[in-house]
Amino acid sequence: MATGILPTGVAVYAVPLVTILLGILIGFLAQRSGYCSIGGFRDYVLFRHTRLLSGYLALIVASFFGYLLFWFLAPAAMEHFFWALTSDPMSPVPGAPGGLVPVAYLLISVITGFFVGFICVLLGGCPIRQTVMASEGNYKAGFFFLGMCLGSIIFAAYVSGWFTILMRSIGFGG
């Protein structure tokens, strides 16, 4: 169990507060800059514009250096930094349905990645852009956000379980 800067008793109260402040800052700046990960790749393919793409690449690079910085400052909070070296290199950081073999996770990443990119570019934006556009008064993006809200309940109630059963039945159970 990793320990952060705040003790557990304080952290459980700080979680909603810190994340909402973080979200307000990110939402404000995302509206100002038109930030979008999918749009970055799209603009590069269509017009060779690198403005939005630089935002997404900066995120990848900065997250590495950010984790590196806080790994020096609070090593106990970054238990598995350099994930590929400190754990099984092909396994993912937890957060998805667990208990599958490593090759299954690679396969899942490849397939879901392709379809997330494909669907989002047809709808004109990645999840954060749709959320920002919904706040700007775009009803279509608002319905995208509502779809995500309903989807999260349906995923937790049904799809997650079905998916695990499916993966086990085709021999990917770990």
Partner 1 sequence: MLPGNTSDTVHQYFSYLVRHPAFLGALIGVLAAFSQALLISAGGPEAYGFCVACHTRDLVNGMTNIIAGTSLALAPISGNAVLPVMSVAGVLIGAYLSARMYREHRIKRGDLKDYAIYFLGGFIVLQLAMIFGGCPYRAALRTGYGDITALAFIITMAAGVIVGTLLMLRQAQKEDA
23-62 binders of partner 1 (CB under 8 A): 23-38, 40-42, 45-46, 51-52, 54-62
Least distance between partner 1 and beta carbon 98 (Å):
9
Least distance between partner 1 and beta carbon 150 (Å):
6
Buried b (16+ CB within 10 A) or exposed e, 101-115: eeebbeebeeeeeee
| Residue number with CB closer to partner 1 (110 or 171) | 110
Q: Which of 157, 169, 170, 171 binds partner 1 (CB under 8 A)?
A: 157
- Nearest-CA neighbor of 174 among 111, 83, 96? 96
Residue type, position 23, single letter: G
Q: Count Cβ atoms below 10 Å from residue 73 Cβ, excluding itself.
A: 10
Least distance between partner 1 and beta carbon 113 (Å):
4
Per CB under 8 A, contacts with partner 1 among 61-80 are: 61-67, 69-70, 73-74, 77-80
Residue 117, φ and ψ in degrees, nearest 5 = -60, -45
> How crowded is the C-beta side of 43, counted as CA atoms within 13 Å?
16
- Our finding on whether 19 is near partner 1 (CB under 8 A) is yes
